[in-house]
Structure formats: structure tokens, C-alpha cells
Amino acid sequence: MNEALYPIAVFFAAIFTNNILLTNYLGMCSFLSVSREIKTSVGLGIAVTFVMATTTILNWMVYNYILMPFGLEYLRFIVFIIVIAAFVQIVEMIIERVSETLYAALGIFLPLITVNCAILGVSLFMVIREYSLITSFFFGLGSGLGWFLAILAMAGIRQKLARAKVPPGLEGAGITLIIAGMMALAFMGFSGMINIA
Amino acid sequence: MAKGLVKKTFIAPLGKDNPVFVQILGICSTLAVTNKLENTVVMTLGVMFTTALSSFTISIFRKLIPARIRMMVETLIIATFVIIVDIVLKAYMPDIWKQLGPYVGLIITNCIIMGRAEAFALNNKPGLSLIDGLASGLGYAYVLLIIAFFRELLGTGTLWGVQILGSWWTNWSIMIMPPGAFFMLAIFIWVVKEVFIKEESK
Amino acid sequence: MKKESFFAKRIYPLLFMLGITVLCIAVTSGLYLFTQERVEANENLFLKKTVLEAAGVSYPDDFIEINRIFDEIVRETGDVFTVNKGQGGTAFVVPFTGPGLWGPISLMVGFAGELNALTGIGIISQNETPGLGARIEEPWYKQQFIGKWGPFTMVEEGTADEPDEIDSLTGATRTSRSVQAIMNRAVSEGPQIIKGE
């Protein structure tokens, strides 16, 4: 495989074959609670994708230019989460000042994002897998889009499902998890499509 | 009275207020490692340790923490305990540390810990918060251990790495792959809810 | 309602945050320094175990014993570990790294003294998918290389019986191919590296 194409391959792998939600179960909390309607899940999906791609780059720089040279890698958990929290806060403030419509659409989702495990997860995976800056960016973007895709599909299915008769014990979380399991099965079908080797 | 409160604080998260199957919180960080019982035990111990001690610490400082930066302070304290877990695992259980990989760090974003800090530790005394944190961790741990038990047994025919089922057993590979965890958790929630619903209607 | 004083509103939160940050960092740094020696010893031990495994030397699960055996029979020159197995002859162990599905896969590859067969492999690091690609850590997978010589062809899991055939892992074709590529490079470059020293 061509070296230059590696980031692109990681990008597609993160969306399809190794979807962060369906294979690593990251970001489940907001996935289960916000996937009831298509509209809200689109808002959250966009916010997650944006924050994920950006914080991955920020954390990569912080890790490689600040933590590594000083031998402080063991502090990465604290530092990453603070970078994410601070970034979300700043974005919230900017959006609030710049556009009211955008704030009305995305504002409520931003606090949810800080505790979204997927965002921190992507940063931690990037460090462990020793990705370069470019690859990290594509990995973050791909993971965000993958998460977006999964929650959008789930919201679509759940809207149809609202009319269906589900056994009382399975209502709510139970049926959502079963659908997620089937989606995970379906996404496994993509494996082999992308060659990272 | 005080004794009754302690008992109630401890029992509630194990049953009717269970963080996993009633509130569906915090499964993200651990679900991924439930394909092996051993990893799940270590991981859930880490979660229990963090939940209990971060609730305890936050409760000690509860009157001093400025409301404005509450979340930041909580996150910082939680992250500190998670780093402690990470360092201890790395030093004393390097093999398991390697297998858990990034998931130890993800304990930070486990919603249960933050949830307990916000809902309980900020308003209660340290001792009670410690018990609440421990019980929430325990309520979380046993659900994931049950899932891990079935996933490892059905998926590889082993428990704790020891072969349990004979050669006649065909491994259900699906159980150790990602979809297995979703199905197991759904089935578990289903069973528990059916039992509860029956009890309530009696 | 009483208006908050400037101190309570701006200065106190800042001081509090600063204080708690210093406390947290002090605790974690203290613990880190305290365990650092042990962590290094662990890493060192792990490397020694991997070399012994690749050379096909069995060892007890005991810290002191492993160090004793290693110091007694292994000589390290540059990248090559020369293992004196007594009656079992000599084995050369060389590390090889290549891209895996998610991150680099690093292996220790053991060569029999005559450079016509392998004595085994040990895995230094891998980030493959748990339950699929990560099964390269399973003993049967590693042991299948003992006594074989490449270039290797990959066959379905459980069907390898020729000296140049290796089992692939079901559901982890990418990882299997990555290992195959690393091993093929090992058998073609390994002998030169060993002779070159």
C-alpha cells in the first residue's frame, strides 16, 4: 500500500470497518439517549464530528510537542480531558456570540460532548497507535463521521420503530441495543473493503 | 436511622437504581473488554476504586468547590484517580495493562462516576459518598461480570483462560466480536426487566 | 440577593483550581516516580521473555529465574540476540516491525543456527482488533512458525501442514497478511543481518 494513501485508508476504516461506536462501544451514553429523533441526532452528530476532528489535532500537538519532550506522558489523561473540555467551552462561547440560530441548534449538545467517551477515546487510540499528525486528523474525522452515521441510522430505525409493538422488557434501551448489535453485524460486512497493510 | 440510611445507600445501586440496566450509564469504557473475564475483573475493580474515591474526595471538598468551575474540578479529581489506576496496573500487572490499552483512560468519561459526583457527593458527607460510590461501582461491576462470563464461556469455551467446555463445544465467535456484547447486554436487560415487571404487578 | 465580591467571583475559583491541580499533579507524579523503576524492570523482563520465547527456550514464570537464564545464555550484539541453547544448538533472535491493521506490529523472530528454520516468534507489541486480529497473541498461532521456513503462503485457519504454510486467522485477513509480510521479510533479510554482525 502506498504510504501517502495510509491516512485515507484509516479514514475509511474508522467510518466503516472499525466504527468507534459499533466496534469499540465508545459514546454509548449519548447514543442511547439522543437517538430518538433524526433532528437531534443530526445536531449532535455534526457537533461530535467537528469536536473530534479538532481536538484530535490539538491533543496530538500537545502530546508530541509538550508532554513527550518533558517525559510527562503519564499525565496525558488529565491533559487530554482538559483540552477537550476547554475547547468545547470556547466553541460554545464563540457560537453563542456569532450565530444565534447555530447556538439554538447545537448549543445544547456541546456540554454533552465533554463526557462523550468517543472523543477522549480517539485521542487515546491515536497515541497508542503512534499515528502521524495527518493520519490522526483523518482518524478523528473518520471516527466522528462514523459515529454520526451510526446515530443517524439508529434514529431513523427508532422513528419507524415507535409504532411497533415491542415486548415490555425490551422497550427503550433493550431494543436499541439489539438494533445496535445488528448494525454492528452489518458493519462487519465492510471488512475486507479497506486494505491497510 | 443513620444505619438504615447507610444500608439504603448501599443496596439501591445494586437493584432498583442500578446504573447499568436501569439508567444505562457508563457502559462505554468497559463493554469493549468484556470478551475476557480476567480483563473485566481488573477493569471493574478500577472503576470501583475510581468511583468510590473520587466521590469521597469530592465530598470532602464539597463546600469549598466554587460552583462555576465544579465540573472542571470533578473531572480533574476523577482523572487523577484514573491515572493512579493506570500507573499501578502498569507497574504491577503489565500484561493486563497492555491488553486493556486505552480503555483504562476511558474510565474518566464513564458517566457513572461523574453522575454520582454530581448527584450524590456534592450534597452528602464523605463517608456516605464513599459507600454510594463503592455500591455504584459494585452494581456496575456485577452486571459486566455476568456479561463477560457468558461472552468468554460461549465465545471461546474458557473461563479465566482455562478450558471449561470440552472439545465438543463449537465456539460462538460472534460472542467475542463486537455484536456479541450488544446482544448480551440487551438480553440481560430484558431478563431483569421482565422479572421486575412481574414482581411489581404482583 | 447579595452581590458576589470580586474575590469570590474571580480570584477564589482560580486559586482553588490552581491548588487542586498542583495537588493532583503532585500525587500522580509522586506515584509515577515511585513505580518508575518497577515499570522499567517489567519492560526489560518482558523483552527478555519475548527473546527467550522466540528462541524456543522454556522459562519459569519467575522474575529472578528469567533474568538468570537470560544473562546466562543470551548475548546481545547490536540488533541480534545470540542464544546458546546448549545441546539444542544456537539460535539467533532478531526484531522485525511492520504495519498491522491498526498500528505497527513488532515481532521477535528466532532463527535456528543453520539459518534454515525458525525457532519461534514472540510478540513485542500489536494493536490489532481484540477477538480477531489480536489472536496472533495466542500460543498456537505463534508456535506454528516453529521449524518452518518461508517465503510463507497463507492458508485457511487449521489447514496448514506444509513447511511453508501458515494458518491465517478467520475474520482477521488483514492482520494475517501483515504478519505474513513481516515474516517473509524476516526470512529474506534475517540471515544477512545475522551474518553481517
Q: Is C182 on the interface with A (CB under 8 A)?
A: no
Mean pLDDT of C150-161: 81
Q: Is C192 on the interface with B (CB under 8 A)?
A: no
Q: Is C35 on the interface with B (CB under 8 A)?
A: yes
User: What does the pLDDT look like over C101-153, one tens digit per residue?
Assistant: 777 889 999 998 888 888 989 998 887 776 677 788 888 888 888 888 878 88
CB pairs under 8 A between A and C: 37
**Out of B72, B75, B102, closest to residue A124 by CB:** B102
CA distance A63 to A66: 6
CA angle C149–C151–C156, rounded 5-degree value:
90
pLDDT band with cut points at 50, 70 and 90 for residue B130: very high
* Domain presence at residue B154: yes
Mean pLDDT of C20-29: 89
At C34, is the secondary structure helix, strand, or coil? helix
B-chain residues within 8 Å CB-CB of C20? 61, 73, 76-77
- Checking if the pLDDT of A2 tops 70, the result is no
pLDDT band with cut points at 50, 70 and 90 for residue B196: confident
Three-class DSSP labels, C119-180: EEEEEEECCCCCCCHHHHHCHHHHHCCCCCCCCCEEECCCCCCCCCEEECCCCCHHHHHHHH
The domain of B52 spans 20-197
* Domain presence at residue B202: no
C-chain residues within 8 Å CB-CB of A191? 171, 173-174
- Range in A143-147, B73-77, B168-172, B195-199 with the lowest mean pLDDT: B195-199
- Checking if the pLDDT of A193 tops 70, the result is no
Mean pLDDT of B4-12: 76
- What pLDDT does residue A194 have? 57
B33–C130 C-beta distance less than 8 A:
yes
* Domain presence at residue B1: no
CA distance B92 to chain A (A): 16
- Residue A114 or residue A136, greater confidence: A136
Q: What percent of chain B has pLDDT over 70?
A: 92
A76–B75 C-beta distance less than 8 A:
no
C-chain residues within 8 Å CB-CB of B72? 17
pLDDT band with cut points at 50, 70 and 90 for residue C175: confident
Q: Which among C110, C103, C147, C109 has a CA at the least distance from the CA of C128?
A: C103
- Range in A56-70, B3-17, B96-110, C22-36 with the lowest mean pLDDT: B3-17
* Domain presence at residue B178: yes
Identify whether the C-beta of residue C167 lies closer than 8 Å to the C-beta of residue C71: no
Mean pLDDT of C21-50: 89
Domain count, chain B: 1
* Domain presence at residue B15: no
* Domain presence at residue B12: no
CA distance C131 to chain A (A): 11
Output the furthest CA–CA distance in chain A (Å, rounded): 59
Q: How many residues does chain C have?
A: 197
Q: Which residues contact C170 (CB under 8 A, 6 or more apart)?
A: B173, C156, C157
- Residue C172 or residue A119, greater confidence: A119
For chain A, list the contacting chains (3+ Cβ pairs, <8 Å). B, C
Mean pLDDT of C61-89: 83
The DSSP annotation for A21-60 comes to TTTT-TTHHHHHHHTT-HHHHHHHHHHHHHHHHHHHHHHH
Q: DSSP letter for B106, please.
A: G
- What pLDDT does residue C104 have? 83
- Checking if the pLDDT of A172 tops 80, the result is no
* Domain presence at residue B159: yes
- Checking if the pLDDT of B1 tops 50, the result is no
Whole-Å CA distances, C182 to A14, A192, B27, C151, C188: 24, 20, 37, 11, 10
User: What does the pLDDT look like over A120-157, one tens digit per residue?
Assistant: 889 998 888 888 899 999 999 999 999 999 999 999 99
Identify whether the C-beta of residue C87 lies closer than 8 Å to the C-beta of residue A89: no
- Checking if the pLDDT of C9 tops 60, the result is yes
* Domain presence at residue B30: yes
For chain C, list the contacting chains (3+ Cβ pairs, <8 Å). A, B
pLDDT band with cut points at 50, 70 and 90 for residue C87: confident
- What pLDDT does residue A153 have? 92
Identify whether the C-beta of residue B185 lies closer than 8 Å to the C-beta of residue B34: no
Exposed, middle or buried: residue C86 (CB in 10 Å: 0-12, 13-18, 19+)? exposed
Q: Which residues contact B169 (CB under 8 A, 6 or more apart)?
A: B157
Averaged pLDDT of chain C: 84
Q: Where are the domains of chain A?
A: 13-192
B32–C31 C-beta distance less than 8 A:
no
User: What does the pLDDT look like over B48-95, one tens digit per residue?
Assistant: 999 999 999 999 998 888 887 888 888 889 999 999 999 999 888 888
- Checking if the pLDDT of A196 tops 50, the result is no
- Cβ neighbours around B28 below 10 Å, total: 28
- What pLDDT does residue A102 have? 77
- Cβ neighbours around B137 below 10 Å, total: 28
CA distance B112 to B72: 16
The DSSP annotation for B141-179 comes to HHHHHHHHHHHHHHHHSEETTEE-S-TTPPP-HHHHSHH
Closest-CA residue in chain B for A125? B102
A-chain residues within 8 Å CB-CB of C40? none
Averaged pLDDT of chain A: 84
**Out of A22, A118, A178, closest to residue B183 by CB:** A178
